[in-house]
Each structure stands twice: as structure tokens, then as C-alpha cells.
Structure 1
Amino acid sequence: MTTIALAAAAAVVLVAGILRAAGASLVRTPRADAVQDAADGDRRAEHVARLLVSRPSLQPALGLVHTGLMVVAATSATWALTRSTTGIGLVVALALLALLLLAIGDVLPRGYGRGHPRMLAYRWVFLLRPAVRFGRAASDLIGEEDGEEHEPNGTHDEDDEAERELISSVIEVGDTVVREVMVPRPDMVTLPATASIDEAVALSVEAGRSRIPVLGQGIDDVVGVLYVRDLLSLFDDDSGHRQVADLARPAYIVPEAMPVLDLMREMQNDRDHLAIVVDEFGGTAGLVTMEDVLEEIVGEITDESDDEVPLMMEVAAGEYLVDGRMAIDEFEDLLGVDLPNEDWDTVGGLLLGLAGRVPAEGESFDLDAYVLTAEQVHGRRIARVRVRTR
């Protein structure tokens, strides 16, 4: 019986040591690193990132569980020793037991965990998650039984929930590529290289743009990007006759299949806020800004230069006007439906796929329980779609 008790004590102290090492690794893990690893597809990192949302409560919760395990191990080992050893031998055995418990169950694993952030947290997250949940629940129960009065923590809970949602957004955007968030080629605001400074200023004011691509021989020949702030020092008598090609900065070119998070990191490192997106043949597919990337993570960002017309608005019961540029995924989420999008990314593209050609304004097509009508067509582009239930 004493052998079983000692074996049980050894197993429990081993678990306590692993928990101590993993917990030390967890609290030393930068949350930004965990979020990035999660966005790259590491499910363990996703769980770690969610735990780190409430970092201040991690150590008390894990500490409570660790203490419980150490008490169980010490009790079991002491019971076994008192039945197999007496006298001075028992005193020595208990002293050695205390040293071993402290070393194996606490000091050594804690030091090792602090020196290996992320690695141990990821490896043992399956142990950390239930331990944190149990520790928090036990802590709350103990506090209630002691009659402690806690300050209302609604604000903290709301903050934690907001952070969890943000982490979820970053993780979800991990598979998103630039083509899905860019401003498409037909919607780009551009300037010819031969445009004058006065024309550039006028377009900037009219379109509300601070950075404008400059074109050479056409849309596929982007020779640079004009930063409107570079014009501020040129307001003299002769500045209006200069051409924007003289002021254009080199364009930052990215492929349309580039992951959005990779683009954000490069933009941060290079301090670029606008990139020209090219397709596999080198043609201009569109442009993407830092704001486009951030909106994919945190939601729509509206400023004074944005058009106030929403991408989708309900005009009657079961009837909607939808911007043709609206992403199909977003459209599905708002309507609560699952549409066959095939190779199309936008609602306008979906209607093109249904028609098999560019539809005429007012032309309608059936799609499951919905009727899609080409409300506005600009050239070969479907600008607005009317969607109604049958």
C-alpha cells in the first residue's frame, strides 16, 4: 500500500511540475506572438491567445490548482513514509521529501518554463485550459464562501470579450489574401503622369484621397504613387505647370495572392500605406491600403472622406439594395444564408456568373429562394444589385 501511495505522490508532483513549467511559459508568452502563430494555422496558439486575454487572473488560478496538487502529493507521500519509517529516519525522509517536492514540483520547472515562453505553453495547453477554468471557478467559490465583496467587473468582462473577438478576427483573417480586400481595378482613383499639380490637387479634394497612383501608358503601367502631402511645399506661382510624374514616389507592388497579415507586417516595417496589387500576368488588379487591411480585422472604419452609402440596405421587408462590390461572405452573414459563390468573390460577380454575361439594367435571375436584379450597371461592371425573397 505504501508503494502505491508513493507512486501516486510521484505522479501528482510530476503533473504539478509540468503545470508549473507550462504556466510560467504561458505568462511569459507575448500575446501578439500567439495571435500571429494562430493566424498562421496553429490551433494550440489560438487556445493560448484566448487564455492570455485575461492574463492577470492566470497566475492566481494556476497557483491554486498547483497548490492543491502539491498538498495531495505531500499528504500521500507523508502517509506512506510514516507507515514505513520511524525515529530519526522519518525526520530525514520528511526533510528530503520537502526538498524534492519543492525542487521537482516548483522551483526547477518554473525556471525552465520562464526560459521557454511559447514552446511549453503550446505543448501543454490541453492541460492549462482545464486547470485555468477549474482554478478560476474554485477561486470564485472560495471568495463567495468567505463573504468577500467584489467590485462590479462588468467593464472588465466587456473588455475581455472585445479582446477575444479581436483575436478571433485576426485568426479568421489568417487565410484571407489581398485579392479579397483590395479596391478593384475599375474603382481605382488614378492620375496620368502628365497631369499638372493643379489637377492633382483638384482630384485629391474631389475624391478625398491622400495617395493617388500615377499611370504611364495605362492602368497596367503604374509609374508611382503621388502623396498629396508632397504638394504642400509647391504652392508657388509656377507649381501648377509641373507634372505629377516629377513628384511620384516608387509604387509598392504586391501579388493578389499575398496573405493579408503578411502585407500588414510589410506595410508596418516599410511604413507604406498603399500598395498596387498585380495579378499573375503582371497586370494591375487593384490597390490596397492599410485601412483596407485593418477593416478586415476590426470592421468598417468610417472617416470624413468616406461615402456614407452602406454596402447593403433594406428598402422593404425581405428586399435589399446591395453594392456589387460587397463580399459574398459578408452578404451571407448579414442575410443568414449560404449561397453558391463558386469562383466569385462579390455579389456583382455572383450575378455575372448567374447571367453568363453582363446583364442589362433591370434584368433578374433566380437563385434558390432569392431573386437578384441588376439595379445599376456601369459598362461591364454591376454597381448595385436588388435582392428580394420570392
Structure 2
Amino acid sequence: MYSKFLYNSSSFLIATLPQSTMVVLMILLLVALFMLFMNSGAEIAFFSIGHKDLKTLRAKKYPGSNRILTLLQKPQLLISSMLVGNMVFRLLIILLCSYLLRDEYFPLITGPLLFILRMIISIFILLLFGELLPKVWAANNPIRFAFYSSTFVHGNFWLFKRPGSWFASITERLERALGIDNDVNTRLEQIDEAMNSNSAVYTSEEEKNILKGIAQFGNITVRRAMRSRLDVQGIESSISFAELKTRVAEQQYSRFPVFNGSLDSIIGMIHSKDLLPYLDHSDDFDWKQLIRPPFFIHEQMLVEDLLKSFQANRIHFAVVVDEFGGTEGIITMEDILEEIVGEIRDEYDEEDSVNIRIDDFNFIFEGKLMINEACKIMKMPNKIFDAIRGDSETIAGLVLELSGKFPNVGQELIAQDFTFTILEAAQNRISKVKISIAPHLQ
């Protein structure tokens, strides 16, 4: 009965439509199909852009790249507006298809069967132009599709931004009511707030920092905790036993990577305590027999998993490599523990630190300082730099991303509410940076 009513209603509407109106509806259908095509593909393209792609987009000054970066600054609102737009365009396509598929086109089919046929054709069009074609194209070429669709996605964003924000806020309220929160940074900030408010009387500042370190421990990657290769003191395998003893005595470390030619060819690790029984041997002693096998790990491994590997293999030292097998740095058990308890100083560590808080709006940091550590010193949220950073983990890496080239000493880089001033740099390494923040952020 219901299908018969829809069929009779659509037949009546089609019969009464003038020819000019039919042309307008055809154009409207094509526009709706085109917008659905762009929106559906953009869902895949925009959210498939990785950190390296974002770095490339920041380096380019094209209007399309600026639109993409601007839209991605509000990802939740962007996806909400896309979903609302897709829903509107799908409904519009279904209605227009039912209006435009006239009875005379199907003389042998009448009644409810004609209504079902119209629905099948509409669904086929929606699947082809709203799912298969755009999403396959966007999955294979996300950057190119994002460039092509950025203008239309931007228009869709402003057209459906308001209803999208309503749906986003409703979703957020439902997640909070159900106890669901998928944002890691938000959870960590909530933990920080709870620790700061509930334990102010009974817990010292050091104990609070340890508790925060434990809370964040499961989300820390090796890349964040490791020592970069520029800070690695390695041993060339070709040196003599006398030179080896001199190097170990000078560096005051207990473990050293051993390499052939360069740090990208590490063949093992030598422990200083393994040398003790042989200190009185001659200078031509073959110390290479004391080299322990290397333990290689990837930079994106979680330190929580690395700690388990250390415990299982009874080792305290690992070599961090990138996706191409090059050496990124090293990480030790001490580096892992420092992520929980903070910096561990021994008698050989330098006491002076260049990380200085000048006032509430100006700070001086080492270039190698991790961004999350800088945020702690500035007493700001960990994600405060998310809008301008890519895959950088240190202050120096962030500056290089913003500059696009190696900056000069004294050069200022302005990014949103932050001003970065290069204070010291030598041998292609940024060693000291001043960060000034806008007053309204504090």
C-alpha cells in the first residue's frame, strides 16, 4: 500500500513537471552526484595524509595545500560536516532519481515493480559514484585527490559546519556519558588534572611527576625516549686495544656501540666491565672477541614493549633503526626509566641545563629537548604544538619543519601564537632555541 502511494505520487509529480524544470533537476542531480563523489573520496584522502605528507604540504605555498591544512586543523568538525553533506546529497539523489525515471522509459513495468526498479537504479548510482569510484581513487592517490577536492570540501565545510558541530557535540556528550574517550591526549590531560587537584596536599611534586610518567608510559615510542645518533659515542672496530681503553676512560659510559666505518654499520656492543679482566694485556690484544651481539629495534616501537624485551633477553642496550635500516640512535634501560621518574643524574652528568624559563612568555630550550618536555616546562598541554608540528619529536626538529631549511642564528620563525628564535647552531645542528608565546595562551 505504501509503495503504491509513493509510486502514484512520483508519477503524478513527473507528469506535471515542465520540460525546463526537468533540465534543472537533471543539472541538480549531476551537481549532487559530483559533490557526493568529492565528499566521499575526501573522507579517505584527507584522513590518509601522514606526517611526512603534511610536512610537504607546509613547504608548498599553493592555495590547495593551505586549504587542506586549514581544514585538518579541525578534524572532528571536518568529518562531521562531510557526513552531514553526504547524507543530504544521498537523499537528494534518491529523490531526483525517482522523479526523473519516468514511466514511459519502462513501458513493460508498472506498479510496485517500477518503484523497486527505481530504488535499485538509485542504489547502484550511489554505490558507484558515492562509494566505489571516489574511495578507490582517494585510497590510491590521497594527496592528489585532496588537492582536487579541497575547494569543494571547503565549500561543503562552510555549508554544513553548523549542523556538523551539533552532531559532533552530541557525539561528544554521548561518549562522555558512556565513559568513552578515544583521544589519548585528552585522557592524559584528565589524569594530570586529577593528580594536580586531588593529591596536592599528600603528594610531592616529584611523586606527581612519577605518577604522570606511569600514566603516559604506555603511549611513549622509542623515538621519543632514545638518544639521537648525534649524541651517540661509538667505537670504531679497527682501533687498537690501547685506544679502546682510552676512549672508554674518557667517555665514562658503560656500554658502547661498535661499528665498521659509520654508525649505520653497527656490528655489536662492548661493555666496559668486560674489559676489566684484560686491562693488563698488551696493546695488540684482540678485543673484538668481547663484542656482544647487537639488539636492533624500530623507532616506532613502544617503550613498554621494549622494556619487556629487555627483561626477557636480559639486556639493557638497543640500537634504534629507521625504515631503511639506518641508525637513528640508541636507547638504554636508563632512558626508559627516565620516562617514568624523570632525569637520572650520576656523577658524570653535567649539572647545568640550558632549559631556562625567562618569564611566563619566554623560554630558552636545548634543540634536542623533546617537545613534550618543553610543554611541561612551559606548563602547557602536550598537544599545544599539534597544529604546527608534523612528525618531529624535538624542538630542533619542529624548527626545521617550520623553516623548511637549516635556519641562521638569530633568525625568527613565527607560527600561529609562537615565535622561535635561533640562538645557537653549529655543524648543521640547532643547539639552542628561544620560544616566545602569545600572552593569551597562558
| Paired letter, 1:347 | I
Q: Which residue of 2 aligns with 1:250?
A: 293
Equivalent residue runs for 1:172-251 within 5 Å: 172-238=216-282, 240-251=283-294
Q: Which residue of 1 aligns with 2:389?
A: 341
Determine the C-alpha separation between the residues in 2 that align with 1:388 and 1:164: 27
Determine the C-alpha separation between the residues in 2 that align with 1:317 and 1:262: 37
Residues 1:352 and 2:400 are matched in the alignment: yes
Q: Which residue of 1 aligns with 2:371?
A: 328
**SS, match of residue 422 in structure 2:** strand
Q: Residues 237 and 243 (structure 1 numbering): CA distance in 2 closer, same or farther, change over 3 Å?
A: closer
**SS, match of residue 264 in structure 2:** coil
| Paired letter, 1:329 | N
Q: Which residue of 2 aligns with 1:293?
A: 336
Matched-pair contact (CA < 8 Å) for 1:193–1:243: no
| Paired letter, 1:191 | I
Match for residue 310 of structure 2 among 261, 264, 267? 267
Determine the C-alpha separation between the residues in 2 that align with 1:296 and 1:346: 15
Residue ranges of structure 2 left out of the alignment (5+ in a row): 1-178, 180-198
Determine the C-alpha separation between the residues in 1 that align with 2:397 and 2:260: 29
Determine the C-alpha separation between the residues in 2 that align with 1:362 and 1:164: 37
Determine the C-alpha separation between the residues in 1 that align with 2:272 and 2:247: 10
Matched-pair contact (CA < 8 Å) for 2:209–2:342: no
Q: Which residue of 2 aligns with 1:59?
A: none
Residue ranges of structure 1 left out of the alignment (5+ in a row): 1-125, 127-153
User: How far off is 1:191 after superposition?
Assistant: 0.8
User: How far off is 1:244 after superposition?
Assistant: 4.2
Q: Which residue of 1 aligns with 2:425?
A: 377
After the TM superposition, which of the residue ranges 291-300 and 309-318 deviates more from structure 2? 309-318
User: How far off is 1:195 after superposition?
Assistant: 1.6
Any idea what the Cα deviations from partners look like across 1:338-364, whole Å, max 9, x if unmatched? 223222111001110111111122222
**SS, match of residue 294 in structure 2:** coil
Any idea what the Cα deviations from partners look like across 1:15-60, whole Å, max 9, x if unmatched? xxxxxxxxxxxxxxxxxxxxxxxxxxxxxxxxxxxxxxxxxxxxxx
After the TM superposition, which of the residue ranges 272-281 and 367-376 deviates more from structure 2? 367-376
**SS, match of residue 233 in structure 1:** helix
Determine the C-alpha separation between the residues in 1 that align with 2:358 and 2:290: 46
Match for residue 361 of structure 1 among 409, 432, 435? 409
Q: Which residue of 2 aligns with 1:169?
A: 213
Matched-pair contact (CA < 8 Å) for 1:192–1:216: yes
Q: Which residue of 2 aligns with 1:306?
A: 349
Matched-pair contact (CA < 8 Å) for 1:195–1:243: no
Determine the C-alpha separation between the residues in 1 that align with 2:337 and 2:419: 33
**SS, match of residue 372 in structure 1:** strand
Equivalent residue runs for 1:32-181 within 5 Å: 157-158=202-203, 166-181=210-225
Root mean square deviation of aligned Cα: 2.7
User: How far off is 1:311 after superposition?
Assistant: 5.3
After the TM superposition, which of the residue ranges 262-271 and 368-377 deviates more from structure 2? 368-377
User: How far off is 1:196 after superposition?
Assistant: 2.0
| Paired letter, 1:235 | L
Q: Residues 206 and 373 (structure 1 numbering): CA distance in 2 closer, same or farther, change over 3 Å?
A: farther
Matched-pair contact (CA < 8 Å) for 1:226–1:244: no
Q: Which residue of 1 aligns with 2:71?
A: none
Any idea what the Cα deviations from partners look like across 1:234-274, whole Å, max 9, x if unmatched? 12251x23354332111111111111011111112222111
Matched-pair contact (CA < 8 Å) for 1:252–1:274: yes
Determine the C-alpha separation between the residues in 2 that align with 1:169 and 1:317: 24
Q: Residues 322 and 166 (structure 1 numbering): CA distance in 2 closer, same or farther, change over 3 Å?
A: closer
Q: TM-score, normalised by structure 1?
A: 0.55
| Paired letter, 1:358 | F
Q: TM-score, normalised by structure 2?
A: 0.49
User: How far off is 1:204 after superposition?
Assistant: 2.1
Matched-pair contact (CA < 8 Å) for 2:409–2:423: yes
Determine the C-alpha separation between the residues in 2 that align with 1:243 and 1:382: 39
